[in-house]
Every structure is written in C-alpha cells, then in structure tokens.
Amino acid sequence: MKILVAVKRVVDYNVKIRVKAEQTGVETANVKMSMNPFDEIAVEEALRIREAGTASEVIAVSIGAAKCQETLRTALAMGADRGILVETESELQPLAVSKILAALVEREQPEMVLLGKQAIDDDSNQTGQMLAALLAWPQGTFASKVAFKDGGVEVTREIDGGLETVALSLPCVITTDLRLNEPRYATLPNIMKAKKKPIDTYQPDALGVEVEPRLAVLRVTEPASRQAGIKVSSVAELVDKLRNEAKVI
C-alpha cells in the first residue's frame, strides 16, 4: 500500500505573530518556519503504518514556494521515502490545494491520503474534506485512532459529544488530530540520509490546476486589547455596572 502525506510550511507555533504595517497579512520575513504540527502527526502515523508492514511506501507532498523543500526534507528525515514539491509563488487556498492533491493522487495512485485536520496559519479545516469530495473517497476526519480491520480502516474521530468510530473502505482520506500520536524526532543519521532522497518538482500548470485565489483578504488586524478590570465595593454597584455600562443584563 502506498500512502500520500501532505505537509505544509507554516510559521512556527512558538513564534509570536505580528501583523504587517500595511495590514495585508502576518509578517513572515526573518521568522522561523516549520512543518504544520498536525501534518507532523500525519507523517508519524504514515510511518507507523509502514513499520507495521501494512504500507510499503510513504510519499510526502508540499505545495508552495521553493523553501517548502525544507519542510519536505524534515518529513524525509522522519522516514518518508520520497518527496513531491508543487512549486508556486501564488497564494494558495484550500480548494486549489485539494485540486493539486487530487491530481497527484491520479498520478501516484495511493491507497490512502493522510493530512493534518487543519493548518495553524489559516485554520481553514477544509482541504481534507474537499479532497475526499473531489476523489469521491470515504473520509475520516479528526482522527485520534486508526486501525486496519477486514480489509478496511476503522477511524476513531474526536467530535463535540465525545468519540465516534467510522469504518472506511480503501482508498480513503484521513485527517489527523492531536491525540493520534506523538511525532518522532529526526535523528542526525536520518537527517543526512534525507539529503539524498529524491524530491520530484511540478508546477500547478503541469498538473492542470488553476491556483488563482477565489477569495480576497481585505485587511488583517490584531485583536483589540483588553481593558483593565475594576473592583466594585458592593453587589449593587456590580449589578449597576453590568446593566448600565456593560449592558449584559
């Protein structure tokens, strides 16, 4: 079985986000970038499936600027067999990413696509669902457990009310949640080996995909700062302020 894993290059989760002065987006110049944490979990799960003997090959895919090769090398150092970079400088939105992944699925013919449930930069939580719809494949989103049974896959999903288990036939799309696993660290020998692993490069046009954005961001602003709290001397004063100033009662 072949597994395709999508990985995204995002601002590192430890970085304090700053909005650009012109309010067109967040500052990424001279900012530490890393693999999206949810995608790290997806890579780890794919590697565990391969190590269990269920899968034979893990292919990491990233879409974006040439610097996304760094993210792919991280996935290769973790243990992925090879990488694919779809290089573009255009702003990418979930539908375009889903169409690119669908085109790669047609080329590579994997039995499973794994990706994080969302990226921490836009929090869209749309790509996995859109990809499953484009491929007409079953999907298991927000996966906290993945188990192979009777020629298919059982996915335990984290939902608002608790846990839900769904049975999927192969091929399928699975998006990973935080509690699925703990990603491994890449060892120095594997980091050196990753430099020699192949990365194929495509352009969106070669895959027959139009990546022009359909939505326009008008303005990005920081959240309003909180006002300082005050102390009240009595319950009557508290009720008065809630009624007349806050207007919540």
Residue 215 has a pLDDT of 87
CATH of the domain at 168: 3.40.50.620
Side-chain-facing half-sphere of 162: CA atoms under 13 Å = 3
Selection from 111, 109, 141, 124 nearest residue 8 by Cα = 124
Beta strands in 12-52 (DSSP E): 33-35
| pLDDT computed for residue 50 by the predictor | 96
For the CA atoms of 188, 191, 192, 196, what is the dihedral angle to 10 degrees? 160
**What 3-state class would DSSP assign to 39?**
helix
Looking at residue 61, what is its pLDDT?
A: 97
Q: How far apart are CA 52 and CA 241, in angstroms?
A: 62
pLDDT of residue 78: 96
| Tally of domains within the chain | 1
pLDDT in the model for residue 96: 94
Task: Give the pLDDT of residue 91.
Answer: 87
> What is the structure's pLDDT at 216?
87
What pLDDT does 230 receive?
Answer: 86
Residue 107, pLDDT score: 95
Query: For residue 25, what pLDDT is reported?
Result: 84
Which regions in the chain score pLDDT beneath 70? none
- By residue range, what is the domain housing residue 98? 2-246
